[in-house]
Amino acid sequence: MQVTLRIKRFNPEADTQSHFENYQVEVEPTDRVLDALQTVKWYQDGTLTLRRSCAHGICGSDAMLINGRNRLACKVLIRDLGNKIQIEPMRGFRVLKDLVVDMEPFFAKYRQVMPYLVNNDPVPQTERLQSPEEHERFEDTTKCILCAACTTACPSYWSNHEFLGPAAIVQGHRFIFDSRDQLKSERLAVLNDMTGVWRCRTIFNCVEACPRGIDVTKAIGEVKKAILFGKT
């Protein structure tokens, strides 16, 4: 089938503002949007700039706005979109070039929640054991691949870029509810700030945008309860 890709382009060396360009591409219905974009870059316009890596929905590199929704280009099939596809960079981030956005502010917020295990007990002879129930308590939020699809789908983030955003809160949740971790109170203090969980308005855009199926809004709600009632 033939599809029309309407791609939002921006070259900081030549453009004063973004604009759309159209490309006609021959694809199979089972091809992914990433396949179509790579066809454009390899055979039609080598200046097209985008991020991609594993192409299997694991690295999160190729998150972008596809027909108005945040998605991973490597997971969305052409047959599910039709023959006219509009592709734009993610909202809320500074565009560096074409579909590539500046992710540094996103990762700065990620680092604020201290996304690593802290345990000051003597190092055991074997791994630090957990029961299946203890692991299940935070298993959902371990699926996050830091693609930023949830954060850039969040109206609260669009209106206030100081907001930590759903992805950072999800990463905080992953360690707050880990029975092995000993830095819960410090993380909860970060998330209890004016730019933390209380900026969330429970709109559920983040849940719809997450390519890993994480119940982001539920995780944010659990962090709020942990702050209010101190139960993890």
Q: Which residues contact 52 (CB under 8 A, 6 or more apart)?
A: 34, 37, 38, 61, 62, 73, 74
Secondary structure class of 52 (helix, strand, coil) = coil
Among 80, 73, 21, CA closest to 48: 21
32's CB contacts (< 8 A; 6+ apart) are 55, 73, 74, 75, 76, 77, 78
Instruction: Give the phi and the psi of residue 3 in degrees, each rounded to 5.
Output: -125, 155
pLDDT at 230: 82
Helices (H), the chain: 33-39, 104-112, 132-136, 155-159, 166-176, 184-191, 205-209, 216-229
- The SS3 assignment for 136 reads helix
User: How high is the pLDDT of residue 231?
Assistant: 73
For each of the domains in the chain, give its residue range(s) and CATH number, in order of start: 2-100 (3.10.20.30), 104-229 (1.10.1060.10)
7 strand-pairing partners: 21, 87
Provide the pLDDT for residue 208: 96
Alpha-carbon span 190 to 205, nearest angstrom: 23
* Dihedral pair phi/psi, residue 96, rounded to 5°: -85, -45
- How confident is the model at residue 73, as a pLDDT? 98
> Using N-to-C axis directions, what is the helix angle for 216-229 and 166-176, rounded to 10°?
60
Q: How far apart are the first and last CA of the chain?
A: 52
pTM: 0.93
Per-residue pLDDT of the chain (232 residues; tens, 9 = 90+): 999 999 999 999 999 999 999 999 999 999 999 999 999 999 999 999 999 999 999 999 999 999 999 999 999 999 999 999 999 999 999 999 999 999 999 999 999 999 999 999 999 999 999 999 999 999 999 999 999 999 999 999 999 999 999 999 999 999 999 999 999 999 999 999 999 999 999 999 999 999 999 999 999 999 999 999 987 7
